[in-house]
Amino acid sequence: MIRISALLLLLIFPTAFVGASEIDCSEDSKDGAEIFSKSLSDAVLKSMNTRECQGLPLKVGQVMKFIRRPSWTGLSSSHAMKRIGENQYQAILNLNFVEEGATNTPRTLEMKKQVLGCIKMANKKISGPSGKVLEIRIIDPISARGMPPTEVPDSLTINVLKPNLPSNMLNFSTMDCANITHEVFHMLGLVDEYDDSLRSSNGKQETCRIIPKRNTLMGLPSSYFEDVYGKTTVCNCGGTCQRFWNSTSPERRRYLEGQNDPCSQLQALKTGSFVEGTSTDAVSTLEGDKLTIIRKPKPEAASLMSANQFKKVLFGYCPVGIKGYQKCSSYSYFKRELSPGQANPQCADIPAECSQDDYYLGPK
């Protein structure tokens, strides 16, 4: 295990200490997956808390910039945080939408419009502890010219791809609001929480990331979006709707109501491939050949961010109060194997408490 002192930390992160109004949240050096250790993680937290966090919490009207240099994820991002009221905060992102090097193309304009609409929707559901609320403000390099420089973060280039291609934080293709919001939350410093074995070639989890037991937007975006906002589905299914409504049991009907794609499940009735499963609470109504299924928001999913995720976005690496999230999320992109058959010893350092949602995500 490599031990790195606070003095050596200054040599590794020469740009990490940049003044009271700007915090460089460099999470790692270029080859960080190999050298980042539990002791270094503690050193980063301690140094940030004692040196760069003296300006926090912000006073009303104050602004702080957070910068994340390329870490082991290979991505960098930047946002400004402004306190606009006693319990109101604004995260500012400077996004430049580009298609093959060109701006203001039909596709970039449409993507920008979609992102702005999704974030407007998300802003209604971002709340944190003690009544605090957060709104995300999206600007672009042109609108930034009329703003105070202290409120303008570094711009992020969003590559707008052709439809139906894989998307990530800096490459947007066909996405719904749940996944757009997920990627924007990455820009604010939140990490993935889904089981990456679902995407790996060998069906095994490739990283050491923590997978909470709770549903979260950073884990299953579409599922959690439905928890927060609810969902209305209308199936135009001809006589199939009527036959299902008249012949099935209440339990089977509740199961159908809980499916991600209930309309396809109704069609499966014709071929006998309808599969039973766990039911869920929803309300369905039949009118003619139209079946409407309404899932209500879940009371426990009042915010798109957990308590600790909210604090992470507000304060970057600084608040001691979310040390659990800081520690646990720092392992999110470590590979489980450094090479085939060679386990990564860093994964063995993950604190046992990280498996507890209240420690990692904060109380519900």
Percentage with pLDDT > 70 across the chain: 76
Token pair 């460099």 is found at 26
DSSP state of 203: S
Angstrom distance (rounded) from CA 144 to CA 187? 18
**pTM of the model as a whole:** 0.81
What size, in residues, is the chain? Answer: 364
Most confident of 195-199, 288-292, 356-360: 356-360
Q: What DSSP string runs through 84-97?
A: -SSSEEEEEEEEEE
d(CA 315, CA 131): 16
Give the residue from 275, 279, 274 showing the smallest Cα distance to 250.
279
pLDDT at 198: 67
For residue range 338-354, what is the model confidence (pLDDT) as tens digits?
888 898 998 888 999 99
DSSP 227: H
Locate the domains of the chain by residue range: 6-223+301-360, 231-295
User: With bands split at pLDDT 50, 70 and 90, how would you rate the model's confidence at 355?
Assistant: very high
Parallel, antiparallel or unpaired: strands 171-172 and 155-160: parallel
| Confidence at 5, pLDDT banded by 50, 70, 90 | very low
